């Protein structure tokens, strides 16, 4: 066993972080939530393509749902759309939002769909999900 002694000097800086949140209220179970999350540009990101693709995809997803809503469709559960700020600083936007709504999230969230790095590889779909969501992915394909 080795004992290592370290001295760390950090400077605390406060940053303003903004999350953009919207929702589409569900009809059958409006108090049950599906969260769709992505991140947006912080101004300090190292990978502009990553934030642009996740922002474009969540925007297109919302637009597609709104076209269905105009035709009379409504989701069974409330869909919460979240564009997280502060990704560059340890995902602080989503972390703090989760802390603020911890009890609701633990009790009422059915699923979280991450669009954090939505574009990878070639044009084939390669979904990754928990076992409870695998059937949904099969049905959508």
pLDDT at site 135: 62
Determine the pLDDT at residue 53.
Answer: 72
Count CB neighbours of 77 within 10 A: 20
pLDDT along the chain (141 residues), means of 10: 90 88 96 92 57 80 94 96 86 90 92 76 64 59 47
pTM of the full predicted structure?
0.75
The DSSP element (H or E) to which 98 belongs, if any, is helix 92-100
Q: What is the 3-state secondary structure (H, E, C) of 21-86?
A: EEEECCCCEEEEEEEEEEECCCCCCCCHHHHHHHHHHHHHHHHHHHHHHHCCCCCCEEEEEEEECC
Fold classification of 20-140 is Aminopeptidase (3.40.630)
CA of 42: how far to CAs of 66, 87, 92, 95, 125, in Å? 27, 7, 11, 15, 28
Q: For residue 39, what are its two tokens?
A: 């991140």
Q: What angle do CA 64, 78, 102 make, to 5 degrees?
A: 125
């Amino acid at each position: 066993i080795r004992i290592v002694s370290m001295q760390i000097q950090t400077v605390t800086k406060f940053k303003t972080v903004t999350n953009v949140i919207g929702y589409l209220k569900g009809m059958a179970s409006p108090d049950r939530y599906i969260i769709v999350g992505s991140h947006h540009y912080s101004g300090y990101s190292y990978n502009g393509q990553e934030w642009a693709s996740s922002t474009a995809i969540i925007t297109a997803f919302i637009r597609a749902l709104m076209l269905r809503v105009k035709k009379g469709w409504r989701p069974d559960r409330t869909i919460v759309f979240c564009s997280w700020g502060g990704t560059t600083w340890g995902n602080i936007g989503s972390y703090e939002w989760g802390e603020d709504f911890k009890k609701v999230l633990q009790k009422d969230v059915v699923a979280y769909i991450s669009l954090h790095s939505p574009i990878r590889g070639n044009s084939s779909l390669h979904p990754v999900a928990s076992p409870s969501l695998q059937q949904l992915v099969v049905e959508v394909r």
